[in-house]
Structure 1
């Protein structure tokens, strides 16, 4: 069995932003690009998707006219080598809704819901990448069946290009940064 039989040829070499931008939405679904290499993301659980959508809806409603919150689209962290992540929730400037790709300067907050199989990526790797890209706020959500979600908040230290730990919320988020939002997670 050859490598091509297991995965397409393009998954074995670095790709450029121009190549990625030429792909269809279907080709880009379920993948991220890290250092120019395609990384296939496993499908998320229903619990994971529901939690992400719930958070996005609450953040969108609280963001007013200035901020939108959505799920399931790319954030282009850098062009060379290509780093394209697909966070669980993205809060971005409403006036950039038609700009593609979404870039770090459009983004206020990213939310990652930690899943089995992506713990190190969600807890360490992505935090480092998001900080280096200059994303001001990140929330990391720990969730497990039968337990109340825990939201860890992070604020960018721009001088260090690293995050400082912020508040931790269990069950109910009452955040004032990046803007005021109250989210009840106990019933999920």
Structure 2
């Protein structure tokens, strides 16, 4: 078995330019290259972010493609497809779990196990209150699986499942029509 190279620390990562950080995540100090997303994937993420942002009012912002620092040692830095975070922290970097309300991942070929199992566990362990997983395939209406954190166990319990039209009441009321995608 080959030994892994040196681990990336939070200090090292924070010194890197934005271009070097784009398209990667850090898990247990190891750099992981993220698969290139399809146009369908990006559109789904953008539609979700736009609807969640509009419904979040002045307290919550929603956006795509930026880092969430799950922990410093070993460094765990994820770049979820959609992040709902406290509006007052817009200029703070990195974004920390205490300022995140919801993370959403759009499952694509190459990210199935990571989005369905690994991130579900990591986000719960970090204390993120809500996780949404969006299953998508060409010619099929997207399915949104929602999860709610049980704070005592730091595990998610299964929430509602939406096909096409999302009419969620948690984390706040939002309606998103994904059936036309």
TM-score (norm 2): 0.97
Asked whether 1:14 is paired with 2:12, we answer no
Q: Which residue of 1 aligns with 2:82?
A: 89
Q: Which residue of 2 aligns with 1:120?
A: 113
Asked whether 1:36 is paired with 2:29, we answer yes
Number of residue pairs matched by the alignment? 178
Q: Distance in 2 between matches of 1:171 and 1:53?
A: 15
State the shift of 1:12 in Å. Answer: 2.8
The list of structure 1 runs, each at least 4 consecutive aligned residues, that deviate by more than 4 angstroms after superposition, is none
Q: Distance in 2 between matches of 1:99 and 1:143?
A: 32
Structure 1: gaps of 5 or more residues: 1-10
Q: Aligned runs of 1:1-188 on 2, under 5 Å?
A: 12-188=5-181
The structure where strand makes up a greater share of residues is 2
SS of residue in 2 equivalent to 1:163:
strand
State the shift of 1:13 in Å. Answer: 2.0
Q: RMSD value over aligned CA atoms?
A: 0.8
- CA distances 1:94-149 after superposition (whole Å, capped 9, x unpaired): 00001110000010000000010110000000010000000000000000000000
Q: Distance in 2 between matches of 1:49 and 1:13?
A: 32
Structure 2: gaps of 5 or more residues: none
